[in-house]
A and B are shown apart, each in its own frame.
Chain A
Amino acid sequence: MFDYAFLVLLLPFLSAVILGLFGMKMPPKIAGIIGSTVLGTLFLLSLYTAYHYFFYTGEYSAMGQVFNVVDGRLSNGLYPTVTVFNITWLKFTELLTFNIGFRLSPISVMMLIVITTVSFMVHLYSFGYMAERDEKYKFEEYEKGFQRFYAYLSLFTMSMLGLVVATNIFQMYLFWELVGVCSYLLIGFYYPKHTAVHASKKAFIVTRFADLFFLIGILFFSFYVGTFNYDLSTSLELTDKLSTIASDPTIAWAIPTALFLMFIGGAGKSAMFPLHIWLPDAMEGPTPVSALIHAATMVVAGVYQVASLFPIYIKFGATEQLHWIAYIAAFTAFYAAAVACCQRDIKRGLAFSTISQIAYMLVALGVCFAIDNEDGGLGYMASMFHLFTHAMFKALLFLCSGAIIVIIGSNFKEYMGGLHKYMPITNICFLIGCIAISGVWPLAGFFSKDEIVSACFKFSPFLGWFMTLVSGMTAFYMFRLYYVIFWGESYYEQDPEHRRRPQEVPFIMWGPLVFLAIISIFAGWIPFGHFISATGKSAEIHLQHFHFSSVAWFSLLAAAIGIGLATWMYLPKHNPIPNILAKRMPALHKAALNRFYIDDIWQFVTHRIVFRCFSIPIAWFDRHVIDGTFNFLAWGTQEAGESIRPWQSGDVRIMLYGSLREL
């Protein structure tokens, strides 16, 4: 039934190749239309796939396996894991093969929807955005830029889809690297800009560094388990093998270690502390890219990876590693929220917000300690739910900020203010995004975030309160952003003669905004637990039935306090409080503004220590010591030759003299 699935990878690949090779010869519009058409097709295909996967009744087969399903579920009440195809790509040994395949499971189907929805919206939106943007940068070859942009976007979409449908961990790694490179290319899209080039380099190298651990984790895993397959439901041998290892005390450490090493790779992509430093700088890329890659899809790859391996974590003695993840993520969530409160650049503010929200997802996964739907395993569902809703409202927020940046021509909040008059649609959409992310009933964020907080309370009350606090901070920094952009003092009105008058963006840009806003409003009401839960069986989200527990009230209260505080501090046109606060605590404010100097620490380690203490001495050593030795040998040989040359000159007198002297 899912035989068309290969198209999902092939179409964007072809589109990327065609646009990459021939893009320069086409008019930019055509390139955009090709890219968007492909994405539109993919979007429809994913919807179709999801519909069939979750609701089909009857019988279908894939790879020789027959699935007999009622409403998408097998007789045991679970959704099947359907491997549509699985091709041997590389054979390491007879047993250990590297396959490229296509697998549908509840979470991969959900990811298909997320990726294609956001990507499609971004493709449409970019028609407006890239045209404006390129004129502004006065690119001599701005038309080429347009095609290049769509080629990269297609390539990225292909890689991301390949990542989520991976049948094995190595395939995930392969596409993982590919999305990394697409991200590199897109961050450095405005390549004449110095900062963009630096940011792209930084992003790639930091994530590559993390990927090293992912790779080592894979090596450990494959060595002990003997396969790259990670899906317990499709392979009984895998379960057997894992239980053998887990029960053998000499090698029982291997699985948790491997899993945690793989998580470090995920932490790099998902920007967990202290590997988060690349994400804020990644905002140098075009804003649609930030929405697609650095908010909705690629950065959640780490979450997706942990979720994919989740059954192995729980069943084979790695729950402790899960909890480490939870602590790392909880700290990251707090840290990023604190930094987000002080950013001047609206995109960087949103970037820190993204870090914080992804950390929420990982906290939710990390606090799980059992597989059930209500207690120890609630976090799994909550995490995936938040991934889904967050992708929608964060993409919305980024696209809105893109619209503002196009109109204003700057990322900094000083140039904004009072925009609600000039950009009504963007205003409403941004507000919806803010409310959704703050977790206010009845928008999407409320449901997913409160599930996470409840899951935290089930694990430890401390973490629960901590995450409630962070959700209050979220509400605060989002509304701060909202007020300084749309309310407050207008930059334009201070000098209307010389400054450009802000106006609403064209339909091709606000259309996607409205679409995403609508999803952000209603996504919370999707009976998500029915489709995705830790056990795979249908679970209920109590909040959707108005069973508000005390947890929900507390987090609503936190959100209300955050919003209230932001309103009080930033809504009035000349409120001195923020400045007073900044002056009172100069060290704290400065530290937060400079992201608590984490970037500088990394800079110090990489430049001063690795570069200065290893590379330069090694290069010197190579040129002087090793080379010197060989040159010395050559010189020695030559000198020796010189010195014995007279002996062999054939001059009879010298020879005679020599022999006579001996006498």
Chain B
Amino acid sequence: MLFGLWVAKNDNQVRGVMVAGSTVLLASAIWLTVYFVQQRNLGNTTDMLLANSIMWFKPLNIAFSVGVDGISVVMILLSAIIVFTGTFASWQLEPMKKEYFLWFVLLASGVFGFFISTDMFTMFMFYEVALIPMYLLIGVWGTGAKEYSAMKLTLMLMGGSALLILGILGIYYFSGATTMDVSELARMHTMSKTAQNIFFPFVFIGFGVLGALFPFHTWSPDGHASAPTAVSMLHAGVLMKLGGYGCLRIAMFLMPEALNMWAPIFLVLTCISVVYGALSACVQTDLKYINAYSSVSHCGMVLFALVMTTQTAITGAILQMLSHGLMTALFFAVIGMIYHRAGTRDVRYLGGLMKVVPFLAVAYVVAGLANLGLPGFSGFIAEMTIFVGSFENAGMFHRVATIIACTSIVVTAVYILRVVGKILFQTIPNKKFNELHDATWDERFSIGALIFCVAGLGMAPLFFENIIIDAVAPIFNHIIAFAPTLGNL
């Protein structure tokens, strides 16, 4: 789409270019959404809109095929919002601004490329494109034990992608197809059951690593803690969503019978993710660690809902991706700004910020409340859709899992309020905090835009839900057609 041009222009007026570029990006993402809705209203019912395909590696039938359906439309919108606000959030970044933004843009292009691809291999390629800049962004511009974190993150995600490429090639060879296009493969559905059973975990875990699936989530706290603000935002906000998206698009969509077999195991793992992440977050002392574990919990919820395989739950999973993306970006943005001022992220040394930086403090409270699922913000609708959807799955096992996952809403309240009570309220422990200055205009703008989106999604969810259901329904019907016992409907 537009990102190629944007990278090329990146020279002296870095900020200007970034703003112009990300604005164009946001505008085109909004246009895309509007266009999508229009087309649907006009009665255009093809699975993928704007589909296009160019063959670029004949021997393996790899094509650069693009197209969007409801899920990718909302994901692209999400990414555009995060890139846009992330630009403003890293306004005052000092050393090597240009290089920073260059990598940042490359990361973003990987993400966009991933969401618009419909070809397995191209998707994988963009996934890798998104990964590599992470290493540099964290390793160079990060904080704390940045080399270690960057290395860990990259190695673990690379490990995931090794599994992934095995899985993808497995799918390609065992379905005997002459294409790597996901929809084509799904339509043919020629993969044998045994092959599916073998390759399903490869793909699911491969993407699951990115989606912080227990026990492959440990890169997330370190990675997030060390990353600079905008990278944390983009990473937690968008990159982790690649995992859920890939799990649905490739693993579940192409191998429904295997899902049937593996579902209980992954259900247990994701359920652990949800509760485990939340409980871990309760005792962390670094703000970013808390939020990273909270992300583990919330992204675990995405995968959990996907594995539940009811239409409502899958819709909820996509909503949760969207909502978590926005909320967590907001959270990381605020944390970054607090860190920038106070020089520490340690909960034990912070306090009374409400008095000195009211804007940031209020933003933190809003982010916290959104995170714990306050109605009116996006978290509530996503979680409720997931819970209602999961509960439709009437198996005793699924019931218990759902109820266990529900308990996370209480634990979330505990860790959010603990931090809010400690760092924002009460008295200021350190005299030097009295001199902190409140948010600057670029920060206000970035935060304001994110809060607007979180509240918008939370108050008028039906618009997005319709877009999402539109794409989820065919995928779900496909899965159910081959594995009718799933979802117990």
Residues of chain A touching chain B, judged by Cβ–Cβ distance below 8 Å, are: 88-93, 96, 98, 140-141, 144, 170, 174-175, 177-178, 181, 184, 188, 191-194, 196-198, 200-201, 204-205, 208-209, 211-212, 215-216, 219-220, 222-223, 611, 614-616, 618-619, 622, 626-627, 629-631, 634
Confirm or deny: B407 has a beta carbon within 8 angstroms of a beta carbon on chain A: yes
Q: Is the CB of B402 within 8 A of A634?
A: no
Q: Is the CB of B311 within 8 A of A194?
A: no
Q: Is the CB of B375 within 8 A of A174?
A: yes
Instruction: For the complex of A and B, list the 6 residue pairs with the smallest distance between their C-beta atoms, beginning with the closest.
Output: A191-B425, A219-B391, A174-B375, A615-B282, A197-B421, A197-B425
In the complex where A93-B311, A197-B421 touch, is A619 in contact with B280 (Cβ < 8 A)?
yes
Q: Is the CB of A626 within 8 A of B215?
A: yes
27 sampled A-B residue pairs with Cβ under 8 A: A90-B384, A90-B462, A91-B462, A91-B469, A93-B312, A174-B375, A178-B374, A188-B425, A191-B354, A191-B426, A193-B426, A197-B425, A197-B426, A215-B409, A216-B403, A216-B406, A219-B402, A219-B406, A222-B388, A222-B391, A611-B283, A614-B279, A618-B279, A619-B280, A619-B283, A619-B284, A630-B152
Q: Is the CB of A208 within 8 A of B413?
A: yes
The interface residues of chain B lying within 8 Å CB-to-CB of A93 are 311-312, 392
Other 14 A-B pairs with CB < 8 A, given A90-B381, A626-B218 = A90-B461, A90-B462, A91-B465, A140-B355, A175-B375, A192-B425, A192-B427, A194-B426, A197-B421, A197-B426, A208-B372, A209-B410, A223-B392, A634-B152
Instruction: List the B residue with the shortest CB-CB distance to A13.
Output: B376
Q: Is the CB of B282 within 8 A of A611?
A: yes
Q: With both chains docked as a complex, state the minimum distance between the C-beta of A410 and any C-beta of chain B, in angstroms.
A: 21
Confirm or deny: B424 has a beta carbon within 8 angstroms of a beta carbon on chain A: yes
Q: Is the CB of B410 within 8 A of A205?
A: yes
The interface residues of chain B lying within 8 Å CB-to-CB of A144 are 358
Q: Is the CB of B407 within 8 A of A212?
A: yes
Q: With both chains docked as a complex, state the minimum distance between the C-beta of A204 and any C-beta of chain B, in angstroms.
A: 6
Contact of A212 among B152, B218, B410 (CB under 8 A): B410
The interface residues of chain B lying within 8 Å CB-to-CB of A219 are 387-388, 391, 402, 406
Instruction: List the B residue with the shortest CB-CB distance to A184.
Output: B417
Q: With both chains docked as a complex, state the minimum distance between the C-beta of A294 and any C-beta of chain B, in angstroms.
A: 18
Per the bound structure, the CA–CA distance linking A98 and B461 in Å amounts to 11
The interface residues of chain A lying within 8 Å CB-to-CB of B152 are 630-631, 634
Per the bound structure, the CA–CA distance linking A90 and B465 in Å amounts to 8
The interface residues of chain A lying within 8 Å CB-to-CB of B418 are 201
Per the bound structure, the CA–CA distance linking A196 and B426 in Å amounts to 9
Q: Is the CB of A92 within 8 A of B355?
A: no
Confirm or deny: B34 has a beta carbon within 8 angstroms of a beta carbon on chain A: no
Contact-residue bracket for chain B: 35 or more
The interface residues of chain B lying within 8 Å CB-to-CB of A140 are 355
Per the bound structure, the CA–CA distance linking A627 and B279 in Å amounts to 17
Confirm or deny: B332 has a beta carbon within 8 angstroms of a beta carbon on chain A: no
Per the bound structure, the CA–CA distance linking A178 and B381 in Å amounts to 13
The interface residues of chain B lying within 8 Å CB-to-CB of A177 are 373-375, 380
Per the bound structure, the CA–CA distance linking A471 and B232 in Å amounts to 59
Instruction: List the B residue with the shortest CB-CB distance to A180.
Output: B374
Q: Is the CB of A204 within 8 A of B425?
A: no
Instruction: List the B residue with the shortest CB-CB distance to A194.
Output: B426
The interface residues of chain B lying within 8 Å CB-to-CB of A184 are 417
In the complex where A191-B424, A630-B218 touch, is A204 in contact with B155 (Cβ < 8 A)?
no
The interface residues of chain B lying within 8 Å CB-to-CB of A88 are 462
Q: With both chains docked as a complex, state the minimum distance between the C-beta of B353 and any C-beta of chain A, in angstroms.
A: 10
Per the bound structure, the CA–CA distance linking A68 and B244 in Å amounts to 55
Per the bound structure, the CA–CA distance linking A212 and B218 in Å amounts to 29
Q: Is the CB of B283 within 8 A of A204?
A: no
Main secondary structure of the interface of A (DSSP, over half): helix
A-contacting residues, B451-486, CB 8 Å: 461-462, 465-466, 469
Q: Is the CB of B425 within 8 A of A223?
A: no
The interface residues of chain A lying within 8 Å CB-to-CB of B218 are 622, 626-627, 630
Q: With both chains docked as a complex, state the minimum distance between the C-beta of B295 and any C-beta of chain A, in angstroms.
A: 14
Confirm or deny: B369 has a beta carbon within 8 angstroms of a beta carbon on chain A: yes
Contact of B417 among A91, A201, A222, A615 (CB under 8 A): A201
Q: Is the CB of B392 within 8 A of A200?
A: no
The interface residues of chain B lying within 8 Å CB-to-CB of A626 are 215, 218
Per the bound structure, the CA–CA distance linking A619 and B151 in Å amounts to 22
Per the bound structure, the CA–CA distance linking A188 and B425 in Å amounts to 9
Q: With both chains docked as a complex, state the minimum distance between the C-beta of B157 and any C-beta of chain A, in angstroms.
A: 12
> 1/0 per residue B293-326: CB within 8 Å of A?
0000000000000000001100000000000000
Per the bound structure, the CA–CA distance linking A117 and B466 in Å amounts to 41
Confirm or deny: B166 has a beta carbon within 8 angstroms of a beta carbon on chain A: no
For B280, B312, B402, B403, the residue with the greatest tally of chain A CB atoms inside 10 Å of its CB is: B280
Confirm or deny: B18 has a beta carbon within 8 angstroms of a beta carbon on chain A: no
Confirm or deny: B394 has a beta carbon within 8 angstroms of a beta carbon on chain A: yes
The interface residues of chain A lying within 8 Å CB-to-CB of B406 are 212, 215-216, 219
The interface residues of chain B lying within 8 Å CB-to-CB of A92 are 312, 385, 388-389
Q: With both chains docked as a complex, state the minimum distance between the C-beta of A236 and any C-beta of chain B, in angstroms.
A: 24
Q: With both chains docked as a complex, state the minimum distance between the C-beta of A424 and any C-beta of chain B, in angstroms.
A: 39
Q: With both chains docked as a complex, state the minimum distance between the C-beta of A208 and any C-beta of chain B, in angstroms.
A: 5
Contact of A618 among B280, B374, B376, B381 (CB under 8 A): B280
Per the bound structure, the CA–CA distance linking A175 and B380 in Å amounts to 12
Confirm or deny: B248 has a beta carbon within 8 angstroms of a beta carbon on chain A: no
> 1/0 per residue B271-292: CB within 8 Å of A?
0000010011011100000000
Contact of A615 among B279, B402, B465 (CB under 8 A): B279
Confirm or deny: B156 has a beta carbon within 8 angstroms of a beta carbon on chain A: yes
Q: Is the CB of A89 within 8 A of B282?
A: no
A-contacting residues, B418-439, CB 8 Å: 418, 421, 424-427
The interface residues of chain B lying within 8 Å CB-to-CB of A198 are 421
Confirm or deny: B414 has a beta carbon within 8 angstroms of a beta carbon on chain A: yes
Q: With both chains docked as a complex, state the minimum distance between the C-beta of B95 and any C-beta of chain A, in angstroms.
A: 29
Q: Is the CB of B375 within 8 A of A178?
A: yes
Per the bound structure, the CA–CA distance linking A627 and B394 in Å amounts to 36
Confirm or deny: B352 has a beta carbon within 8 angstroms of a beta carbon on chain A: yes
Contact of A90 among B284, B374, B385, B424 (CB under 8 A): B385
A-contacting residues, B353-408, CB 8 Å: 354-355, 358, 369, 372-376, 380-381, 384-385, 387-389, 391-392, 394, 402-403, 406-407
Per the bound structure, the CA–CA distance linking A197 and B380 in Å amounts to 24
The interface residues of chain B lying within 8 Å CB-to-CB of A204 are 413, 417
Instruction: List the B residue with the shortest CB-CB distance to A171.
Output: B375
Per the bound structure, the CA–CA distance linking A200 and B380 in Å amounts to 21
